[in-house]
Amino acid sequence: MPRYRLQVAYEGTAFHGWQRQVREDGSELRTVQSALQRAVFKTVREETPVTGASRTDAGVHAIGQVAAFTTSRCIDVDRVSMALTSRLPEDVQVTHAEVAADDFDPIKDARSKCYRYDIACARPPRAWPPLFDRHVVYRTPFELHHEPMARVAARLVGEHDFKGLAQKHHGRDNTVRTIHACTVDRIAPDRIRIEVVGSGFLYNMVRIIAGTLLEAGRGRIDEARVDEVLATGNRRLAGQTLPPQGLCLRWIHYGDTPLPPGFPDRHPGSRSNEPRFRDPQS
C-alpha cells in the first residue's frame, strides 16, 4: 500500500494546535490534524490515520509541518496536494506531496527542526503596532538591542540540559537536547527575528527561549544568567513564555535534503534512500 508524505502549512490562529483533541461529550476541537484527517478521508474514501511530525500548540503557525498517511488506493502523487487542499479550510494547505518509504515515520525519522519567532519592538509614532500581520508576530512595547540577544543566543548552541527553558510539566524524562543554531537578526528597524534549529524541543521551549532573548534585548538577562539557567535548571531565572502567534515551524529535516549553509550534509543515521523533499524558502 502506498504511503504519502505531505508538507503542510497553516495559519494557526484559529486552531487548537496540531493534535486531534476530543471533548468529553465526543465533539472535537478545531485542530489541524482533524482537518487534514477529514480531507484525507474525503479523498481516499477510507479511514486512515494521519501522523504529524511536530505537535504545535494552539496559535502556532507552520510552513514546514510534515505528515504522512498510508492508503490502499493508488493516487496520482501530482494530484495529492491539490486534492487535499481543495478539501481543507482556507487556513491550512498541503503544499507538497510525494510517495515515501513504507516505514517512513514523520516523528521518529526527523533529524532536526527549525522554528522562527518574530517580534515587533518599537513604539508609536516611529512604528505602529502590527496590523495586517498581527496574528503572526508578537509585539513588545520595549526597544530591543539585537546584539546582546545574539550573544545570549550563542550560549544555547550545543548539547545542554534545557530543563530551565521548558514548562514545568513538560512530560519528558530526559530534558537534554541539542541546539544546532540559535540566531537573532534585525530584519527591519522595528522587527527582530529569532531562529532556533535543534534535534528536538521540550514543551514551550522555543517560546521560553524567545522570552529569555527578549529580556536580554532589554538588558535584563546576560550570558552569565543563561549559563546559570542551563547549569541549575531553574526556570525562574529565565524569561517569560512568549505568546504563540510569533512562532512558526519553518522546516523539518530528514537527512534526504541539504541542510541550510553551515550544517553538515547529513546527520548520522540519515536515510540516504529516501526521496528528496522540498525545503520551505525563507
- Based on the domain organization, do 91 and 136 belong to the same domain? no
Taking a C-beta distance cutoff of 8 angstroms, is the pair 73, 44 a contact? yes
The answer to whether residue 258 is domain-embedded is no
Same domain, 93 and 18: yes
Residue 149, helix vs strand vs coil:
helix
Residue 82 in any domain: the answer is: yes
Residue range(s) defining the domain that contains residue 12: 3-100
Task: Output the pLDDT for position 211.
Answer: 98
Q: What digits encode the pLDDT tens for the residues 233-246? A: 999 999 999 999 99
Q: Kindly state whether residues 125 and 87 are assigned to the same domain.
A: no
Do 240 and 135 have their domain in common? yes
What percentage of the chain's residues is helix, strand, coil (to nearest 5)? 25, 25, 50
**pLDDT tens digits along 19-78:** 999 888 888 999 999 999 999 999 999 999 999 999 999 999 999 999 999 999 888 999
Q: How far is the C-alpha of 184 from the C-alpha of 210, rounded, in Å?
A: 10
Q: What is the CATH number of the domain that holds 35?
A: 3.30.70.580
The reported pTM is 0.89
Q: Is residue 218 part of a domain?
A: yes
Q: Which residues are catalytic?
A: 57
> How many domains, the chain?
2
Residues 134 and 68 in one domain: no
- Shared domain for 166 and 231, answered yes or no, is yes
Q: Is the peptide bond before 258 cis (omega within 30 degrees of 0)?
A: no
